[in-house]
Amino acid sequence: MAVMTDAVTAGDAALSVRALTVDLPKGMERVHAVENVSFDLKRGQILCIIGESGSGKSVTANTIMGLLPKIIQVSSGAINLDGTTIVGAPAKKLRQLRGRVVSMIFQDPLSALNPLMTVGEQVTEVMAAHGVGNKASRRERALELLTEVGLPDPELMYHQYPFRLSGGQRQRVMIAMALALEPTVLIADEPTTALDVTTQAQILKLIRDIQRRKDMSVMFITHDFGVVAEIADSVVVMEKGRIVEQGTADQVLKSPSHPYTQRLIAAVPRLTGEDRKLKAQANDETVLTVNGLCKTYRSGSALFGSQRVVPAVQDASFTLAAGRTLGIVGESGSGKSSLGRLLIKLQDSDSGQILFEGRDILKLSESEFRPLRPRIQMIFQDPFASLNPRSTIGQILTVGPVAHGMPYAQAREEARALLSHVGLDAGAFGRYPHEFSGGQRQRIGIARALMFKPKLLIADEAVSALDVSIQAQILKLLDQIQRETGVSMVFITHDLRVASQICDEIAVMQKGRVVERGPPSQIFLKPQSDYTRELVAAIPGERRRES
């Protein structure tokens, strides 16, 4: 291993990385996971590393932590952490640094906590591992930490198991754990990506506050420029393992110099307060009318008094005109996905009305509804799980229409035409899903839905799993298709910025109820309900842009 001359003076950098190159195992799509990466994390600052999936940002973090899997090796470069050289250091020395000098929090706070240990055990464990304090003092410190990260009733939390906590609370526990030994550097790997937008805002504020109070240095990994705008002092932009641009947050956000950064920032869905301008439809007929729709989930048994009743959708009412898009926005557990399932009768509703082209489909039996099914199609969130890996794209596209009576030759012709329509090569017809990227698969998902020439598309978090630049392309495609075919769309999302891009009208859901409904200009500029106001305020990066 060639260790570069350590030209870095520990001076004002808590962490400095010089010419770091990490190799991927042979046979991967590229040779290096990260290549010739250099940056400094200045003391008392927050450095954001931003990049899309596969940019090497997580590999960089794991290298600093000494947590790389064995098959990935550092081939050259130097890392200096608070005066200690990391690359090439023995495992034991690295272990002594972890949790004490540098600690890390992760993306998914549920799977990052041991399900069989209480919160208290997990927080005190880090102190015990470094031989700090005794049982009583560790306990006291843990309670102090739980208070510091803003958890209610720390004494109760201490004895709680992770599964009892909400996502935000779990991430707070992770932060408490990371802060236990007052590390110099905190590495946060997409810590808010799995959280709801309001929770995300709280956690970002918490990290910012603690960083300021303790004058800690934070390396914050994210894919979201909104988050960068919210929290960063300086920014490193990575693409395919290389740093393409770095500078202060203001520099990078306001006047990005590298074309990749420019493209990335341009692709970030902006919150627009402007309403969508569509040609007035010749026939402004109503495609979908929903009246007082209700659904309640029951689990457990009433007999033993242990029944849990969750009102998923309560009294939902709205209408959707031909060629228009209704956004359904809400946080997890708001009932937005349940509503989507009710609309295509994947689940039975308890009461209410769903009028599709004037017929109440709620009253139809499954066999009466079947001829209507092709006219309501769904686009799913996960472009990986929703395509059968053993079928060719051609089979995936044609099997449905053929089952509904279309001759195969015709189905094949239409499938080929649609594939090129959604921006894929017609040669995709004979290939398998694994040969395509996430964005391409989502295009295939859209083509599959369009095969039936539906009147209504239901897109459930259709762009949530995609990188921003791909997200922007898919949104554009959906918009274009709607303008051409006049299909109506119900667009379910947790992301207000995305909703503002594509929706004519937005319904905000909270705990199963539609709390507000209106055009984007109303929702974002003049929100009527407190909850909508809270949601809009929590959108990361919006404040900075206004100022």
Partner 1 sequence: MRSFLFNRFAQSLVLLLIVSVIGFVVLNLIPGGPLAQFGLDASMTQDDLNRLAEQLGLNRPLWMQYLDWAWRLLRGDWGHSFRDGAPVLEVIGRHLMATLLLMGSSTVIAIAIGTWIGVRGAVKRYSVFDYMATVGAMVALSIPTFWFGLIGIYVFSLRLGWLPAGNMYTIGDESVLNYLHHLILPSIVLALVHVAIWSRYMRTATLDVINQEFIKTARAKGLSERRILMKHVIGNALLPMITLLGMQLPSVLTGALVTETVFTWPGMGRLFLDSLGYSDYPVVMGLLMFSAILVVVSNLAADIVVAIIDPRIRLS
| Residue numbers at the binding site for partner 1 (CB under 8 A) | 65, 67, 95-100, 103-104, 106, 108, 111-117, 125-126, 129-130, 161, 163-164, 174, 177, 300-301, 303-304, 306
Helix pair angle (393-403, 438-450), 10° resolution: 20
Residue whose CB is less far from partner 1, 306 or 367: 306
Choice between 30 and 93, CB closer to partner 1:
93
- Alpha-carbon separation of residue 105 from 31, 112, 113, 171 (angstroms): 28, 8, 11, 8
Is 127 or 456 the residue whose CB approaches partner 1 more closely?
Answer: 127
Count the helix, strand and coil residues of the chain and give each as a percent rounded to the nearest 5. Answer: 40, 25, 35
Is the CB of 53 or the CB of 111 nearer to partner 1? 111
Strands in 359-360's sheet, in edge-to-edge order, are 308-321, 286-299, 351-356, 359-360
**Pair 394, 425: CB distance under 8 Å:** no
Shorter beta-carbon distance to partner 1: residue 5 or 299: 299
CA separation for the pair 432, 434 (Å, rounded): 6
- Residue 392 and residue 430 in contact, taking contact as beta carbons nearer than 8 Å: yes
- Strands 505-510 and 325-329, bridge-based pairing: parallel
- Give 127 or 447: the residue with its C-beta nearer to partner 1: 127
Q: Kindly state the smallest distance separating residue 95's Cβ from partner 1, in Å.
A: 5
Nearer to partner 1, 259 or 300 (CB): 300
Min dist CB 71 to partner 1, Å, is 11
| Residue with smaller CB distance to partner 1, 118 or 464 | 118
Whole-number Å distance between alpha carbons of 482 and 344: 19
- The minimum distance between CB 52 and partner 1, in angstroms, equals 21
Nearer Cβ to partner 1 (73/392): 73
Least gap, CB of 167 to partner 1 (angstroms): 14
DSSP assignment string, 182-235? --SEEEEESTTTTS-HHHHHHHHHHHHHHHHHHT-EEEEEES-HHHHHHH-SEE
Asked if 219 contacts 231 with a C-beta cutoff of 8 angstroms, the reply is: no
Type and span of the H or E element at 148: helix 135-148
Handedness of CA 476, 478, 484, 488 (dihedral sign): negative
For the bound state, the minimum distance from the C-beta of residue 181 to partner 1, rounded and expressed in Å, comes to: 9
Q: What minimum distance in Å lies between the beta carbon of 312 and partner 1? A: 19
Cα 367–chain centre separation: 38
Considering the complex, what minimum distance in angstroms separates the CB of residue 221 from partner 1? 14
| Closest distance of CB 140 from partner 1, Å | 19
CB of 29 to partner 1, least distance (A): 22
The answer to whether residues 384 and 436 touch, using CB atoms and an 8 Å cutoff, is no
Instruction: Return the number of the residue (31 or 309) whose C-beta is nearest partner 1.
Output: 309
132 burial type by CB count under 10 A (0-12 exposed, 13-18 middle, 19+ buried): middle
| Angle, in degrees to the nearest 10, between helices 438-450 and 468-485 | 20
The gap from C-alpha 125 to its chain's centroid, in whole angstroms, comes to 30
Least distance between partner 1 and beta carbon 65 (Å) = 6
- Contact criterion met (CB below 8 Å) for 238 and 22: no
